[in-house]
Amino acid sequence: MEFITGYTLEELKERITGLGLEPYRANQILSWVYKKLTTDFNLMTDLPKKAREDLSKVFSFHPLRLEDRVEAPDATKFLFRTQDGHLVETVLIKERDHLTLCVSSQIGCAVGCTFCATAMDGLIRNLTAAEIVDQFLQVQQVTEERIRNVVFMGMGEPLANYDNVRKASQIMVSPWGLDLSKRRVTISTSGIVSQLKRMARDPFMRELNLAVSINSPRQDLREELMPLTKTNTLKELMEVLKNFPLPRYRRITLEYILIKDVNDSVKEARQLAKLIGPYKKKFKVNLIPYNPDPNLPYERPPLERILSFQRELWDRGVSTFVRFSKGADVFGACGQLRSRRVMLKSHLHETHPEMAR
């Protein structure tokens, strides 16, 4: 079966024409899928009965199956299973006046950040555009309030899955799709220089919000935390970002995960301000206190140290905000719920095979 959510409008027009349907039927189908969240062709009453029967034989709606759901006051984490048996995380974040969905773009990750639970398994595979979009659709179906923001900050490196992330983003912002504002879709990357250059040349992708993980103003420490930076140096990265073409009134977010006694000193705050240099109007810094994981050797800094780091940047004219990671009660950091589920299942196989299903 083919998944309807893997098609753009133009692709679907071409596909259903080959099935003997008129191209305009594609608009009707996608209106049912994205505006009414319908997952049954039989309910698409403006389509002829024969067309509904034919479409049901060719297309399906959900490439993911909901496996688990964990609630907390400020976030809900969803765990999905792919058709080939892998687990994918999605987090619904409850902001003060809106909902934000944090979606995954890969199963596992090849970047290898030492503070990230997702990195422990390495990269298994890319998610398809349909699998990315389905995360949104399934969460929206069980959420009364409309999801307004999407951030590609879940499992995986979005720019390493460029084509599928691009297509999923197109579906999200198109009027015939989920109809989100481009200002409300954020691509978060660890800083793959070649892909950032590609994004800068892409008229569609460069209109989305861009967030880049920095995590240290020093090349040597960044290499320890993020092995990717050995071949994507901080110097190359900042050169690309300083020249990145932004829509008017938009800024690049520099994400900085604060880890106790690793990268949280006032000295490093000064070095970060120096790294940004005269480009203060082009960047803002999000300080993210580390979300501890029992399998990793890092801790969150005390509040006073977090605020001292922020104050040091503000005093040097850098717009800086502290973003406490939501969903700690639901293992909210990337990969935590998945890794916990995988470890639990492995343990059950050893102790109670009949329960490990």
Q: Tell me which amino acid residue 174 is.
A: S
Q: Tell me which amino acid residue 155 is.
A: M
Catalytic residue among 89, 131, 157, 268: 89
Helix (H) or strand (E) holding 170: helix 162-173
Burial of 114 (0-12, 13-18, 19+ CB in 10 A): middle
Given its phi and psi angles, is residue 15 left (phi above 0), alpha (psi -120 to 50 degrees) or beta? alpha
Burial of 224 (0-12, 13-18, 19+ CB in 10 A): middle
Q: Tell me which amino acid residue 33 is.
A: V
Strands (E), the chain: 2-3, 59-60, 64-71, 75-82, 87-94, 99-102, 106-108, 123-126, 147-152, 185-189, 209-213, 252-258, 283-289, 320-322
Residue pair 27/9 in contact by the 8 Å Cβ criterion: yes
For residue 101, report the phi and psi dihedrals to the nearest 5 degrees: -110, 125
Q: Confirm whether 89 is a catalytic residue.
A: yes
Catalytic residue among 102, 109, 113, 334: 334
99-102 and 147-152 strand pairing: parallel
CA–CA gap between residue 308 and residue 243 (Å, rounded)? 30
Residue pair 96/77 in contact by the 8 Å Cβ criterion: no
CA–CA gap between residue 139 and residue 188 (Å, rounded)? 20
CA–CA gap between residue 80 and residue 101 (Å, rounded)? 14
Catalytically active residues are 89, 334
